[in-house]
Amino acid sequence: MKIRFSFACVMLPILLSLGFVSSATAGEVLKLSIDGTINPITDEYIQRGLNLAKQEHADAVLIDLSTPGGLMDSMRSSIQDILVSPVPVIVYVNPTGSRAASAGFFILESADVAAMAPGTNTGAAHPVILGGGKMDDVMKEKMENDAAAFMRSFVSKRSRNVELAESAVRQSKSFTDQEALNQRLIDLVAKDQSALFDSLEGKTIHRFDGATAMLHLRGDTIKLFPMTVKQQILNYLMDPNIALILLVIGALAIYVEFNTPGVIVPGVIGFIAVLLAVFALHLLPTSYAAVGLILGAFVLFALEAKFQSHGVLTVGGTGLLILGSLMLVDGPIPEMRVKLATALAVSIPFALITTFLMTVALRARRNKVQTGVQGLLGQIALVSMPLAPEGKVELMGETWNAVSSSPVGVGARVRVRAVNGLQLEVEPESQIPVVKLT
């Protein structure tokens, strides 16, 4: 027994030095990447990532962040998940040239570790009313106080500069990476992920609940946690410009299907496009007044096809469509609104195509039917066998049985009044009244 114990005491240090036995099991860091606006899809993505990290007992969650901002409700929901996460959360504004503005600044400050890459910036977190309109003084003060109080509620727990963080809310101040570091808005500046983990090795952090934790992330396995295919598609649809294009294409395709029943393909494409657009607009801050303007534009296009106003109604409808498109999504930041170039590129061609299709459809309905029984009514036929009162006539290269109200000789012209099975009712052309315009 003593011999075995002595052998183990001798061999264990040798094996450790050679790397055959690990003194500690390598941990795992779950990495999320957010590049775009903060919306319900990114909120769901963060929530799923934090839940997975909890289930797998990861050492930390790393969120690479690059965002111009986003929706307040989605930002608040994400921060709530970060604050209660049992796994430490590191928010890293990365890569160089990125920013964590507006809602992104809130998320950065809520993290257990706030870090930035060189050449990045953050701040400008003043609340903005949907649509970018001017707020009255009372509403402005309410929104500022609410956002500032929310910022203070977690920044103070992170031992960061509360007053400066609040100034980003009230005065829309922005900070470079070095300014944020020097004024204690963030914990460190790291040029890349390796430098970030090296700087955090052995660092003790204070959790939101008051507990402390020591980070040992050097050598940990980095597990990428990408968005699901569904989340990637829906996050792409969160771009208001994409939603508008889908809505217009879908409406046009459905209109084509209604005017050419049985084609099917335009109807299917249009239905899917409109469904996706409606889903995206449901999640985005959509203006119902803008929807009313767009519907008004469709009415003017229809009236143009019916009354032929020489383009006046089309111009008015195009103007309404452009205005409605610009107002369709009243997001808090420019990236969450429809661009003027998109509104023009979509509205003008759509107006011209829709007016043209409506005009063609209405003209087709007004034209006399040229086929079937209805197509025979009013046609001129030549008598090939005397009508006394029954005989035969030639019509469209075919011989028909015919009956006339008065006798008609061979070679005379008669007009078709009715069709009874295979027999035509005709009358001499001379008996047809002539209307003279005075």
pLDDT at 365: 60
Residue 206 has phi, psi (to 5 degrees) of -105, 115
Give me the helices (H) in 29-69, please. Answer: 40-55
> Taking a C-beta distance cutoff of 8 angstroms, is the pair 424, 385 a contact?
no
pLDDT at 22: 38
pLDDT digits (tens, 9 = 90+) for 276-322: 999 888 888 888 889 889 888 888 877 776 676 777 888 888 899 89
pLDDT at 368: 52
In order of their start, the domains of the chain are: 27-227 (3.90.226.10), 239-366 (no CATH), 372-431 (2.40.50.140)
Secondary structure, 3-state, 61-121: EEEEEEECCECHHHHHHHHHHHHHCCCCEEEEECCCCCEEECHHHHHHHHCCEEEECCCCE
DSSP state of 330: -
pLDDT lower than 50: segments of the chain: 1-8, 10, 12, 14-24, 131-132, 433-438
CA-to-CA distance for 416 and 285, rounded, in angstroms? 63
Tokens of 94: 């990365």
CA-to-CA distance for 206 and 88, rounded, in angstroms? 10
**Which three-class secondary structure state does DSSP give residue 434?**
coil
CA geometry: angle 91, 330, 293, nearest 5 deg: 160
pTM greater than 0.75 (yes/no):
no
Residue with tokens 């879908």: 250
DSSP state of 337: S
CA-to-CA distance for 225 and 436, rounded, in angstroms? 83
- CB contact set of 159 (below 8 Å; sequence gap of 6+): 184, 206
Strand ranges (DSSP E) for 99-206?
Answer: 99-101, 113-116, 121-123, 174-176, 188-189, 204-206
pLDDT at 434: 37
Which one, of 280, 225, 276, lies nearest residue 45 by Cα? 225
